């Protein structure tokens, strides 16, 4: 009976140890997944803030472009009005030819500015896209590493489970031998 109780006690201790190892394994897996989740959420929030900033910059540039267009239209009107006033004052009697250097073409200037801003916006978009890709690749590599580690832990757990099963079988054999010995 003492040996049987000792065997039972050892089996219970083995079960307790196995349960503790399993609980620790699951706790570690949970903590690893939680850290990954928090990292990804932080990255996503950072990227959202960056996208918001870029959207603000773009809308600011677009509104500046619109105001420059309006200013160009107003300048053209004023110029045409001044020409009409000068022509009405001179009465058409005097014809003056001026060989002045041609003025800057405001439409060309605006188009150049628009092209420059569009290039800046496109460059910023490409940089953000590259940054996203680098982050995503980094997270995917980390995830693959963790999956590989989890697979290793799972195999180790299965191996320990096999050892536990063999030990339980040995305990059962000893118990059978003890019972046969006590019956004789």
Which candidate, 37, 46, 31, places its Cα nearest to that of 134? 46
Residues 16-60 have pLDDT tens digits of 988 889 889 899 999 999 998 998 888 888 888 888 888 888 888
Is there a contact between 17 and 160 (Cβ–Cβ < 8 Å)?
no
Which candidate, 2, 1, 14, 32, places its Cα nearest to that of 171? 14
What is the domain range of residue 133? 2-183
Which pLDDT score, from 0 to 100, does residue 172 have? 85
Which pLDDT score, from 0 to 100, does residue 87 have? 82
The number of domains in the chain is 1
Q: Quick one: average pLDDT of 2-9?
A: 87
Residues 70-121 have pLDDT tens digits of 888 889 898 888 888 888 887 655 555 555 455 568 888 888 888 988 888 8
Residues 132-159 have pLDDT tens digits of 788 877 878 888 888 878 888 878 878 8
Is there a contact between 22 and 157 (Cβ–Cβ < 8 Å)?
yes
CA distance 94 to 59: 50
């Amino acid at each position: 009976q003492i040996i049987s109780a000792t065997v039972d006690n050892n089996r219970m201790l083995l079960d307790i140890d196995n349960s503790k190892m399993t609980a620790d394994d699951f706790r570690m897996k949970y903590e690893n997944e939680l850290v990954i989740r928090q990292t990804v959420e932080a990255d996503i929030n950072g990227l959202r803030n960056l996208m918001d900033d870029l959207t603000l910059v773009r809308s600011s540039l677009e509104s500046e472009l619109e105001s420059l267009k309006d200013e160009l239209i107003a300048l053209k009107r004023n110029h045409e009005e001044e020409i009409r006033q000068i022509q009405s004052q001179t009465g058409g009697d005097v014809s003056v030819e001026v060989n002045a250097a041609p003025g800057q073409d405001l439409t060309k200037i605006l188009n150049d500015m628009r092209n420059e801003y569009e290039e800046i916006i496109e460059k910023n978009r490409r940089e953000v896209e590259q940054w996203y890709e680098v982050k995503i690749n980094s997270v995917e590599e980390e995830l693959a590493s963790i999956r590989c580690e989890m697979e290793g832990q799972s195999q180790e757990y299965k191996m320990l489970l096999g050892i536990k099963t063999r030990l339980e079988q040995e305990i059962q054999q000893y118990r059978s031998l003890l019972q046969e010995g006590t019956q004789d």
